[in-house]
Amino acid sequence: MEEEDGGISKSLAVAACTAMALLYVAIHYSPTLVLRLLPPTSFKSFMIHRFICAFVSSILSVVVSTLILLMSSPLP
């Protein structure tokens, strides 16, 4: 994998974006397995789980995106 102008390669960036998308889908559609949450007992509990999953995956995506951007931008 070649670095382009001191950053990461295109294939590594694509792989990271694909992994983030798959993790996002996995967290949303199987929160019991991924986050080890208890199965929801009511609709309210289900909606709280969905909110927690969306929050976790959003924060994780921001962190990973920041790391990718820091790796791809040259340091002064």
DSSP the chain: ---STTS--HHHHHHHHHHHHHHHHHHHH-HHHHS-PPPPSSHHHHHHHHHHHHHHHHHHHHHHHHHHHHHHSPP-
Q: Is the pLDDT score of 1 beyond 60?
A: no
Q: Is residue 20 part of a domain?
A: no
Q: Supply the pLDDT for residue 7.
A: 66
For the chain, how many structural domains are there in total?
Answer: 1
Q: Between 66 and 74, whose confidence is greater?
A: 66
Structural domain boundaries enclosing 69 = 44-76
Q: Supply the pLDDT for residue 6.
A: 58
Q: Is residue 16 part of a domain?
A: no
Q: Supply the pLDDT for residue 35.
A: 66
Q: Is residue 12 part of a domain?
A: no
Q: Supply the pLDDT for residue 44.
A: 93
Q: Is residue 53 part of a domain?
A: yes
Q: Is residue 23 part of a domain?
A: no
pLDDT in tens, 23-72: 777 776 766 666 676 778 899 988 888 888 788 878 887 887 788 777 76
3-state secondary structure of 12: helix
Q: Is residue 27 part of a domain?
A: no
Q: Is residue 64 part of a domain?
A: yes
Maximum Cα–Cα distance for the chain, whole Å? 53
Q: Is residue 35 part of a domain?
A: no
